[in-house]
């Protein structure tokens, strides 16, 4: 089962995205109530959609009771030119306890403490998702390369729509390079070589996985376009991803260790999908001089993202 580490987007769409840490007293108007969509479909993977409500950035968001922000009882459909599937609502606490943590990770909730209680996160996914999760893929609606997928949501008297495209996969190879500093000979840089398509306008998002960890994105940014390198063969270092709440070790950041098994996933994405992550990840950081960024959305009638991934994964084992 492929897993991505994401978080419900209601935090990001909290009136506007603020990147300044300076304490400033503001008299901000309450945001207009909106439904926030976070939905994805990937080649070989069923679609899933999370629905939440937006909240004021300086409001009383309680991460200890995050399930209260999820929207239940929606009609959610995903369809292409030939097939339609109506998604069902699947709540984590309704699953067997033995698979709750794994399912939570599959839907973007990281559980680092094995004794922690799984929040009752509810997602919309295909009716036979549990069977798919257990290895029975027969008859399951999954994403396919070079296909457009439409999303329809009806809830609380509102209609939300979106469309996304799963591009073809981008093939690549992995190689290794020792750390330039010989005193840090336990650290290794992983590099990726690929032939960029001869037409510009290609976009990708990449993830890395180290040993038994989840897939993570690089903290410096996970999405790229080919406006500069279009049509060339390029070799680039791959920054090791890590959880956003994990402390950064400047001595080891971005590197892997000897003995690691490393997986790198390149996911081709559409322009609107790229625009969403590009604006979300480039909010100006912690600079007090940065401006608020309006995150781009492809959801008509709401906020958020309905995104397709055309993914290819390679694995490399770093020798001891």
pLDDT tens, per residue, the chain with 320 residues: 333 334 445 444 443 333 334 444 445 455 577 899 999 999 999 999 999 987 654 444 454 556 677 899 999 999 999 999 999 998 877 777 766 777 766 666 655 555 556 667 789 999 998 888 888 999 999 999 999 999 999 999 999 999 999 999 999 999 999 999 999 999 999 999 999 887 878 999 999 999 999 899 999 999 999 887 778 899 999 999 998 878 899 999 999 999 999 999 999 999 999 999 999 888 654 444 445 568 899 999 999 999 999 999 999 999 99
Residue 17 lies in a domain: no
Q: Which of 202, 160, 108, 200 is nearest to 298 (CA)?
A: 160
Q: For strand 75-79 and strand 147-155, is the pairing parallel, antiparallel, or unpaired?
A: antiparallel
Report the domain count for the chain: 1
Residue 241 lies in a domain: yes
Residue 10 lies in a domain: no
Residue 7 lies in a domain: no
Distance (Å, whole) CA 143 – CA 270: 14
Helices (H), 74-197: 97-106, 129-133
Burial per residue of 103-135, b for 16 or more beta-carbon CB atoms within 10 angstroms, e otherwise: bbbbbbbbbeeeeeebbebbbbbbebbbebbee
Residue 278 lies in a domain: yes
Residue 259 lies in a domain: yes
Q: Count CB atoms within 10 A of the CB of residue 284.
A: 15
pTM for this one?
0.84
Residue 18 lies in a domain: no
- Distance from CA of residue 230 to its chain's centroid? 25
Range of the domain at 289: 35-317
């Amino acid at each position: 089962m492929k897993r991505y580490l994401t978080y419900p987007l209601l935090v990001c769409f909290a009136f506007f995205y603020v990147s300044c840490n300076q304490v400033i007293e503001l008299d901000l108007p309450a945001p207009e109530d909106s439904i926030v969509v976070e939905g994805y479909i990937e080649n070989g993977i069923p679609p899933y959609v999370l629905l939440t409500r937006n909240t004021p950035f300086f409001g009383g968001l309680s991460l200890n009771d995050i399930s209260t922000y999820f929207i239940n009882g929606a009609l959610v459909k995903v369809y292409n030119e030939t097939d339609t599937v109506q998604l069902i609502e699947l709540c984590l606490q309704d699953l067997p306890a033995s698979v709750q943590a794994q399912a939570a990770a599959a839907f973007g909730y990281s559980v680092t403490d094995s004794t922690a209680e799984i929040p009752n996160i509810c997602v919309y996914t295909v009716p036979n998702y549990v069977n798919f999760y257990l290895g029975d893929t027969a008859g399951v609606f999954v994403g396919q390369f070079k296909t457009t997928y439409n999303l329809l949501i009806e809830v609380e008297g509102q209609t939300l729509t979106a469309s996304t495209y799963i591009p073809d996969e981008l093939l690549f190879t992995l190689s290794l390079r020792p750390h330039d500093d010989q005193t840090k000979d336990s650290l290794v840089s992983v590099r990726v070589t690929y032939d960029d398509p001869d037409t510009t306008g290609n976009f990708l998002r990449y993830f890395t996985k180290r040993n038994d960890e989840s897939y993570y994105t690089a903290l410096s940014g996970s999405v790229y376009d080919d406006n500069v390198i279009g049509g060339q063969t390029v070799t680039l270092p791959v920054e090791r991803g890590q959880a956003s709440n994990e402390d950064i070790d400047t001595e080891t950041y971005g590197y892997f260790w000897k003995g690691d098994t490393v997986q790198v996933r390149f996911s081709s994405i559409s322009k609107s999908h790229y625009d969403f992550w590009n604006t979300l990840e480039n909010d100006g950081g912690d600079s007090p001089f940065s401006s608020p960024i309006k995150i781009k959305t492809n959801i008509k009638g709401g906020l958020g993202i309905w995104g397709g991934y055309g993914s290819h994964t390679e694995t490399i084992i770093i020798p001891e």
